[in-house]
Amino acid sequence: MFSHTRQDFPSDFLFGAATSSYQIEGHAQGGAGRTHWDDFAQTPGNIADGTDGAVACDHLNRWPEDLDLMRDANFDVYRFSTSWARVMPEGRGPVNEAGLDFYDKLVDGMLERGLKPAATLYHWELPSALNDLGGWRNRDVAGWFADFTQVVMERIGDRVWSAAPINEPWCVGFMSHFLGHHAPGLRDIRATARAMHHVLLAHGRSTEVMRGLGMSNLGAVCNFEYAVPADGSPEAAAATRTYDGYYNRFFISGLMNKSYPADVMEGLGAHMPDNYQDDFDLIGQPLDWVGLNYYTRKRIAAAPGPWPHLEEVPGSLPKTQLGWEIYPEGLHAFLKRVHDGYTRGLPLYVTENGMAWNDKLVNGAVKDDKRIDYLDTHLTQVKRAIDEGIPVKGYFTWSLLDNYEWSEGYVPRFGIVHVDYASQTRTPKASYLALQKALAQ
């Protein structure tokens, strides 16, 4: 049971769930081009269970059932993404009409069911052909992304309720080019600095295209992780500041303050593209809202070696299936921090929040009480922020369906709906049923 109902939130507060294209659609179908995730997944050792997104949840064919699930949960809004390679298989040039038709039908399907379509243009599946050209390292990516934006939004931009260019610039830039955990799997500081900047440049170009098409309600979605020092030493405090800088401050500062934090530039400055400062007017153009994705807290210790001189160490809080510490207060902290320090009155949305658990289907039911508790305690923190006057306007849980969790494959289950991948049977979990009740009008 949830301790909250819809009535505890302002009457215009929106509830929704989020998904992303590569994680659910089935990318081997419908004429989609190859993506850098297909390449990454076919390289041994990158994916925990060796899988890829070829079939995933077969959402490409089962989307009517999935949208019915959204509607029947009493959600108001559905956050989905459009796959670049499905629409433009080579990333540039020829358009796969079947791909465009799919998103067109999907948007109409949402509207028919009374769901507001919240589009994200890029949730990580870069066409391989563009990765061949340097991908996010190449400044031209911003122009390619602007063209993709134009093609998609000329088709669906008249009907989407909101749009954001890119999901989680930190993951696109840092995690994928410095840590090597996600495609393209690089571990290179120069590639990282360039990708981190180009992803914001692409955001800016894409936003400009959408404004040009007359679209409104445009935003940006960043992810945040609450960082705490592993011990009381000054070194751990410094390491935590550095982590916080490249994770939690770099992108929001570029977007809202037209600058990058000086402490992050101590590490990345030497590797930035020439004259990157000239791009800030494009990057920092006005937005209508900012979305925060929040999951966890990290403990940070100092470590020898080159910048950033830090490492993550295990924490003591209860953890999810992925070992992520559960720390609901961090969500409130970031809503406050982003509002006070950056957005200053702009509407905020929690665009992702949820947890993985090793959910089991037993006699046709999934008892995911831990997830109910996770969502409920995080909603408490959202409400706390609203009560303090912070303009939080909506909350999306990650995710509607169990799905392809990137380098963790299909083992972690993040859905409020269970998916049996062999039969593609969907079964609403206890968390879905509890939400459905809490959100009833």
Counting Cα atoms < 13 Å in the Cβ hemisphere of 179 gives: 18
H runs (alpha helix) in 269-414 = 280-283, 329-338, 369-387
Pick out residues in 107-166 that bind ligand FCB (CB under 6 A): none
The reply on whether position 167 binds ligand FCB by CB under 6 A is yes
Q: Which of 38, 225, 279, 405 binds ligand FCB (CB under 6 A)?
A: 405
Cα–Cα distance for residue pair 322/252, rounded to 1 Å: 26
Nearer to ligand FCB by C-beta: 9 or 294?
294
Nearer to ligand FCB by C-beta: 83 or 229?
83
Cα–Cα distance for residue pair 435/419, rounded to 1 Å: 18
Nearer to ligand FCB by C-beta: 320 or 381?
320
The reply on whether position 20 binds ligand FCB by CB under 6 A is yes
Let me know: does 36 contact 125? Beta carbons within 8 Å.
Answer: yes
Cα–Cα distance for residue pair 268/189, rounded to 1 Å: 7
The reply on whether position 352 binds ligand FCB by CB under 6 A is yes
* Planar angle of CA 372, 376, 379, nearest 5 degrees: 145
Tokens representing residue 179 in the block = 């840590």
DSSP 40-86: HHTSTTSSTTS--SSSTT-HHHHHHHHHHHHHHTT-SEEEEE--HHH
Query: Minimal distance in Å, beta carbon 356 to ligand FCB?
Result: 7
The closest alpha carbon to 29, from 83, 70, 79, 72, belongs to 83
Cα–Cα distance for residue pair 221/296, rounded to 1 Å: 16
Respond yes or no: is residue 325 known to be catalytic.
no
Query: Minimal distance in Å, beta carbon 341 to ligand FCB?
Result: 22
Query: Minimal distance in Å, beta carbon 108 to ligand FCB?
Result: 25
Catalytic residue among 25, 168, 225, 405: 168
The residue range among 102-110, 167-175, 374-382, 430-438 that interacts with ligand FCB, by the rule CB under 6 A, is: 167-175
Nearer to ligand FCB by C-beta: 381 or 399?
399
Respond yes or no: is residue 97 known to be catalytic.
no
Nearer to ligand FCB by C-beta: 83 or 167?
167
Tokens representing residue 294 in the block = 């929040």
Chain position carrying tokens 């949840």 = 57
Q: Which of 103, 174, 289, 406 binds ligand FCB (CB under 6 A)?
A: 406
Chain position carrying tokens 């401050």 = 249
Distances (CA, A) of 401 to 62, 109, 163, 378: 12, 18, 21, 19
The closest alpha carbon to 401, from 60, 13, 142, belongs to 60
Q: Which of 38, 39, 76, 168 binds ligand FCB (CB under 6 A)?
A: 168
Phi, psi for 20 (deg, rounded to 5): -140, 155
Q: CA 401: distance to chain centroid?
A: 15
The reply on whether position 414 binds ligand FCB by CB under 6 A is yes
Tell me the number of residues near ligand FCB by CB under 6 A: 12
- The contact pattern for ligand FCB, residues 286-325, with x = CB under 6 A and - = no contact, is -------x--------------------------------
Nearer to ligand FCB by C-beta: 1 or 179?
179
- The contact pattern for ligand FCB, residues 171-190, with x = CB under 6 A and - = no contact, is x-------------------
The residue range among 136-144, 277-285, 398-406, 427-435 that interacts with ligand FCB, by the rule CB under 6 A, is: 398-406
Catalytic residue among 25, 125, 325, 352: 352
Torsion of CA 332, 5, 66, 117, to 10 degrees: -60
Query: Minimal distance in Å, beta carbon 81 to ligand FCB?
Result: 9
β-strand 417-420 against 392-398: which pairing, if any? unpaired
Query: Minimal distance in Å, beta carbon 354 to ligand FCB?
Result: 7
Query: Minimal distance in Å, beta carbon 333 to ligand FCB?
Result: 18
Pick out residues in 206-235 that bind ligand FCB (CB under 6 A): 223
Query: Minimal distance in Å, beta carbon 10 to ligand FCB?
Result: 26
Strand, coil or helix: what is 120? strand
> Which positions lie near ligand FCB, rule CB under 6 A?
20, 23, 167-168, 171, 223, 293, 352, 398, 405-406, 414
Catalytic (active-site) positions:
168, 352
